[in-house]
Amino acid sequence: MSVGSPVVIRPERAGDEPAVRRVLDDAFAGPEEGQLVGRLRANGDVVLSLVALDDGRIVGYVAWPRLWIQTPRDQYKAIAMAPLAVDPSHQRRGIGSALTREGLARLRALGESIVFVLGDPVYYRRFGFTVEAAAGYVSSYAGAHFMALKLNEGAQSEGRVQYPAAFDAA
Ligand SMILES: CC(C)(COP(=O)(O)OP(=O)(O)OC[C@H]1O[C@@H](n2cnc3c(N)ncnc32)[C@H](O)[C@@H]1OP(=O)(O)O)[C@@H](O)C(=O)NCCC(=O)NCCS
């Protein structure tokens, strides 16, 4: 990050894909997350995706795909947070946090009720995600790294968390 050029966060737009792919490949040291994003985009599963720019260059990315909470009677909308990535040369400067906080604010404004994430609780609890908030849901990802954050009181409180098919091939 150069002095005097604050990082800009904005929604992803057409044409960003190659730069986003580079950030994903470099941050995760492999193609899997970039391939996942390709499948999510192709299937129309992405509710929100943001990029972080430093001096006009994309150095961070986060996607928020649609999830569903299934109950025997109904299904309810939810959101996943995946993947989150910051270019290795720009990590630990607050960019991942800025992407996360901006995304959560936008999702709240959109009326979304609950966000699930799979990751390191040490990192995600600073945004309000907890393992406890996810404990009432059934999921193949359930465990010590499966967290949730309720954005409003209307969140469905139990059921099976269904990830989109794009995650199956991951
Ligand atoms: C995780 C990631 C997005 C964080 O982005 P970032 O811009 O470096 O994060 P921030 O600068 O906002 O936050 C840095 C803080 O998070 C902590 N942190 C960073 N990565 C962490 C990790 N994997 N686990 C736990 N803590 C982590 C740092 O110690 C630092 O804490 P501090 O503020 O108490 O010093 C980035 O490191 C990354 O792209 N990693 C590779 C891809 C990845 O693992 N993505 C998450 C998948 S769940």
Each residue of 111-142: pLDDT tens digit? 999 999 999 999 999 999 999 999 999 999 99
pTM of the entire structure?
A: 0.94
- 115 alpha carbon – ligand 1 mean position (Å): 18
The closest residue, in CA terms, to atom 34 on ligand 1 is: 123
Kindly give the distance from the C-alpha atom of residue 34 to the centroid of ligand 1, in angstroms, as a whole number. 18
Atom of ligand 1 nearest to the CA of 95: 7
Q: Which residues line ligand 1 (CB under 6 A)?
A: 27-28, 83-86, 91-97, 119-120, 122-123
Instruction: Give the least confident one: 3-7, 28-32, 148-152.
Output: 3-7
Cβ neighbors of 88 (< 8 A, separation 6 or more) are 26, 27
Nearest-atom number in ligand 1 for the CA of 87 is: 39
Q: Is residue 5 scored above 70 in pLDDT?
A: no
The tokens of 60 are what? Answer: 């961070």
Helix 32-42, helix 17-28: angle, nearest 10:
140
- Residue 132 makes CB contacts below 8 A (sequence gap 6+) with none
Ordered domains of the chain (ranges, CATH) = 8-164 (3.40.630.30)
> How far does CA 29 lie from the centroid of its chain?
18
Ligand 1 atom 26, closest CA? 123
Q: What is the pLDDT of residues 16-52, one digit of tens each?
A: 999 999 999 999 999 999 999 999 999 999 999 999 9
